[in-house]
Structure 1
Amino acid sequence: METTFRSGAREGMRDFLPLSVGLVPWAMVTGIAMRSIGLSPLEAMGMNLLVYAGTAQLGTLPLIGSGAPLWLIFLTALVLNLRFIIFSATLAPAFHGHPFMRRLASSYLLVDGMFAVGADKLRRAQDPNWRWGYYIVPSIYCWMLWQCSTLIGVLGAGVIPQGWSLEFMTTIALMVMMVPMLRERPMWVAGLVGGLGAVLLRDLPLRLGLIAGIALGIAAGFAAERVLAGRAAR
């Protein structure tokens, strides 16, 4: 068990490590953004520990800062995190037979980057100990790196020069994680429709354009998948 666990952990870290380049500035931007809307350092880190989802945090912070209704904040976070239902369902077989608390911890630590770089290997690997090492070690590393980098942003919100343009690095980080997921046509359709929808509907009140774009992307992806499945069945 120890040998296969270490082997999986080493390969998981080797696959995930390049994402750290984008993860650090993304977390720092999140910390700065939480402080910019008036959260105290304790509140900001509390949210960071509880939510642990950078996209949902950045997506809901403008709503929190503008005093938007609580239902809209929850709805926005829910929509932004819907992808994790698909991620979890895809990875579930890799954790079959593991204790409940281990699976619960795995769900909390699941991030886009881990799914992007490791989903295929986790599904193909036969050794459960190798799979556990491959998943849990880089996931814990990611959690620690995110918390520490966010703390730097929280504590340095008034010191870090805005000219550093860390927001640009956040976009790069998202693109790095998204590209490996675009392996099939339905994913391309969902990404293109969702992106165009969010841009074209950006002027909707209460930032509802983002939610509408996500909904359009999901619907387009499902439609494309059904069309392709129908063609294949003929």
Structure 2
Amino acid sequence: FGLIFGVLAIDIGFTPLETMGMSLIVFGGASQIVLLQLFSGGASSLVIISSVGAVNSRHLLYGAVVSEHLSDLKLIWKIIISYFLIDQAFAISNEYLKKNKESNRYFHLVGGGVTCWVIWQSTTFLGIILGAAIPEKLGLSFAVPLTFLALLVNDFRKFINVIVIIISGLVATLGYNYIPFKAYIIVAALAGLFSAMILTKMIKK
């Protein structure tokens, strides 16, 4: 994923310094890919910022979930952990934090985050270096939507999730040419959110 990001960023015009800086500061694979897609499509700054913010908003949920296990930490450690609290680190550490009560259990979360950080920065750097050497016919740009599709595999196990995915996909596809300012991603996300809320209420009744 980092390799793809590095290659695509250079391909659409970002400098090596800008590309590496984005990975160091943002450290968010999905949001960085979304940024590249919108930037290459000519989206406005407002749409790009809003979309990246919407994609990253899930980290608020992650923080709320782990906060009950880390409430006794000093502020500096909370700041450090918030930087490393990404999808993979949360996924592997959430259950561990629930089951273990040791005072230093937060190192499990930090360790997972640091490992992901090293991999992400390394692969981004490799993407920058190898970008020019990778032939365009390999179709690496197509690997981006494939990556997002792979993330959805588990969601296809529930009927509600399938309906929400279809609705979001249709709105994004239809809105691509008709929604102004390239805001189709935001509209599709909102459509999926409201669909999920409505379907959940209908099932509960």
Alignment TM class, shorter chain as reference:
0.7 to 0.9
> If the length of structure 1 is used for normalisation, what is the TM-score?
0.73
Taking a change above 3 Å as real, the CA distance of residues 68 and 164 of structure 1, as seen in their structure-2 partners, is closer
Distance 2:110 2:155 in 1: 21
User: 1:21-36 counterparts in 2 under 5 A?
Assistant: 26-36=1-11
| 2:2–2:120 contact (8 Å) kept in structure 1 | yes
Which residue is equivalent to 2:78? 103
Which residue is equivalent to 1:159? 133
What 5-or-longer segments of structure 2 have no aligned partner? none
Q: Which amino acid aligns with 2:140?
A: L
Distance 1:67 1:162 in 2: 21
The C-alpha deviation readout for 1:188-233, integer Å capped at 9, x for no partner, is 55444333432343323443221111111122223334445x54xx
What 5-or-longer segments of structure 1 have no aligned partner? 1-25
- 2:15 corresponds to 1:40: yes
Q: Which amino acid aligns with 2:9?
A: M
The offset of 1:170, in angstroms, is 4.1
| 2:5–2:124 contact (8 Å) kept in structure 1 | yes
**Coordinate RMSD, CA, aligned:** 2.8
User: For 1:139, which of 104, 113, 119 is the aligned residue?
Assistant: 113
Distance 2:47 2:103 in 1: 41
Taking a change above 3 Å as real, the CA distance of residues 221 and 198 of structure 1, as seen in their structure-2 partners, is same
Taking a change above 3 Å as real, the CA distance of residues 92 and 177 of structure 1, as seen in their structure-2 partners, is farther
| Partner secondary structure for residue 156 of structure 1 | helix
- 2:183 corresponds to 1:208: yes
Q: Figure out how many residues of one structure are paired with residues of the other and give that number.
A: 204
The C-alpha deviation readout for 1:21-67, integer Å capped at 9, x for no partner, is xxxxx111111121122211111111121111122222122443455
The offset of 1:146, in angstroms, is 0.3
Distance 1:32 1:148 in 2: 13
Q: Which runs of 4+ in 1 moved over 6 A?
A: 181-185
Distance 1:148 1:176 in 2: 22
Distance 1:123 1:130 in 2: 10
Distance 1:182 1:129 in 2: 38
Q: Which moved more, 1:161-170 or 1:134-143?
A: 161-170
Identity %: 23
> If the length of structure 2 is used for normalisation, what is the TM-score?
0.82
